[in-house]
Chains A and B, each alone.
Chain A
């Protein structure tokens, strides 16, 4: 056997035909296009010239360049107000959620807690049985939380699932650290603050990101509990504009040119601009947090 008879082959673990490869990649690209196109379509429509946009001839690239709809958006005070409200809810809820999770999971990890089993059952029952919409609504009304921002913030911070995630993670922290700190005379609260909290940063990051996404997207609870428009978060405002389509654009500022522009602009374009304006931040930010989502999903599934 001569050297030339032996052809080196690429060391691939799983080989397959080239044709299958092409097919697979083509299919994947198609799926990605399906996922990305709607957003792209909204985007190009929002920056296109209104005439072209109204005639619905824009499909793959923007025709004309027109930023007036965005300029009008920037003057919409209610948009900014709801953006601000959402921001407040996110900050408050994330902070509260992390506090709740940490405060609740730490004592459960101590082996010397009396009634640990009962407490665990106490926490697990609401995961399977919930009061439902109406009784919760009635309880909130009784507590005078109707039309009050705390009706959104407080229930948004109580999530048994996250508490369990946090608890599972705390359990993996070795006991010796706690014992060593006890010898040094630390109280439980100090142990929690100085040892467990810094060590728990990964899981707290996951929980924080989940909470942020949840509060950002939440519109149902505000719809039920916040009839006052000044308190409503962004998604609820968007719902009024995009879904119910009863927004009154005449409140936007009026100069001669803008009044003309408003006439030319189709209602559609303002709505699409609003979509882009409120969703673009998320689109730019979420790819960076991919590893947190994956980790969160894996941790959640391990429990379940």
Chain B
């Protein structure tokens, strides 16, 4: 029935029509109904996603609240790339870029391999109930909200908190970790890894569980021990997943976990804690410099896009796997 086109049949039986319409009345009616079903969502997507996209034009204007984004009289002032240049030449540029990149690099360096290693380790455990228990326990921190985690961490590293106690116990000097810029990257990275490694390992564990056991059997017959089995079977099977996750991680280097940083930082640690995301919030929403921070946002997104592109190219060349 789907191959039968009413339009052509009508054309043949009725001869020439006034307008050659590709779609039959029936099809148009059907489409009207389908579009009616979809219309509310389309409007919502337009308002929520596209209007702000359009609003990005204020990065090229000197925007003050109350002005329309785009008008044809003289009320808006186009300033071109002025805000971009202000940002790049500003005194916080180096600090922001280095903090953002450093924190993300630490996150990748110390946090990327942890879920993978954990998945591989968990895979070696043979007791199924223990495996399930361990997996469930491992992603408990993911469900503790960022606010609660930040609250816990801040109270742990406070003077008199358990971490400070631990440090003095191990012989270190107890300093106020809360306001120490040197301590922040460590605190942030450890918190971030602790919070997300279990959840991120779900993907790898699922991929590993789809490896056919016959591969392991034949490897065992060939005399491979567990380590060799892991190296030659398990790891290559999850390599595509690893590549894609790595590309995505590298591509979001400039968009670090603003949520957690906003919760953990304070003015004393801005030196190492302030990243582009938190800067945009502070100067934009709290400070009201809308045009400037929109420009900063565009700058950051553009570089992110470039990074994803480059990472993808490199990955396709090296391992044949890529996002697109």
Which of B23, B152, B220, B298 is within 8 Å of A38, CB to CB?
B152
| Residues of chain A lying within 8 A (CB to CB) of residue B148 | 238, 242, 275, 278-279
Binary flags per residue of B101-133, CB closer than 8 Å to A gives 1, else 0:
000000000000000001001101110001011
- Cβ of B216 within 8 Å of any chain A Cβ, yes or no, is yes
A133 & B49 in contact (Cβ 8 Å cutoff): no
Q: CA A106 – CA B40 in complex, angstroms? A: 13
Main secondary structure of the interface of A (DSSP, over half): helix
B285 & A114 in contact (Cβ 8 Å cutoff): no
- Cβ of B182 within 8 Å of any chain A Cβ, yes or no, is no
Instruction: For B126, give the chain A residue with the smallest CB separation.
Output: A21
Smallest Cβ distance from B206 to chain A, in angstroms? 5
Interface size classification for chain B: 35 or more
Instruction: For A32, give the chain B residue with the smallest CB separation.
Output: B137
Smallest Cβ distance from A184 to chain B, in angstroms? 13
B160 & A56 in contact (Cβ 8 Å cutoff): yes
| Residues of chain B lying within 8 A (CB to CB) of residue A129 | 53, 301
Q: CA A279 – CA B301 in complex, angstroms? A: 34
Smallest Cβ distance from A137 to chain B, in angstroms? 6
Main secondary structure of the interface of B (DSSP, over half): helix
B45 & A271 in contact (Cβ 8 Å cutoff): no
B52 & A189 in contact (Cβ 8 Å cutoff): no
Instruction: For A16, give the chain B residue with the smallest CB separation.
Output: B226
Within 8 A of B (CB), among A218-243: 219-220, 224, 235-236, 238-239, 241-243
A154 & B45 in contact (Cβ 8 Å cutoff): no
Q: CA A212 – CA B35 in complex, angstroms? A: 29
Smallest Cβ distance from A219 to chain B, in angstroms? 5
- Cβ of B37 within 8 Å of any chain A Cβ, yes or no, is yes
Q: CA A112 – CA B284 in complex, angstroms? A: 46
Q: CA A29 – CA B323 in complex, angstroms? A: 36
- Cβ of A111 within 8 Å of any chain B Cβ, yes or no, is yes
* Chain B interface residues (CB < 8 Å from chain A): 1-2, 23, 27, 30-31, 33-35, 37-38, 40-42, 44-45, 47-56, 58, 65, 118, 121-122, 124-126, 130, 132-141, 143-148, 150-152, 154-156, 160, 162, 165, 194, 198-199, 202-203, 206, 213, 216-217, 220, 225-226, 229, 241, 244, 258-259, 262-263, 280-281, 284-285, 290, 293-294, 297-298, 301, 305, 323
* Chain A interface residues (CB < 8 Å from chain B): 13-16, 20-21, 24-25, 27-28, 31-32, 34-36, 38-39, 41-42, 56, 59, 100, 103-104, 106-108, 110-114, 119, 122-123, 125-126, 128-139, 141, 143, 154-155, 157-158, 160, 163, 175, 179, 187-189, 192, 213, 216-217, 219-220, 224, 235-236, 238-239, 241-243, 268, 271-272, 275, 278-279, 282-283, 286-287, 290, 293-294, 297-298, 301, 304
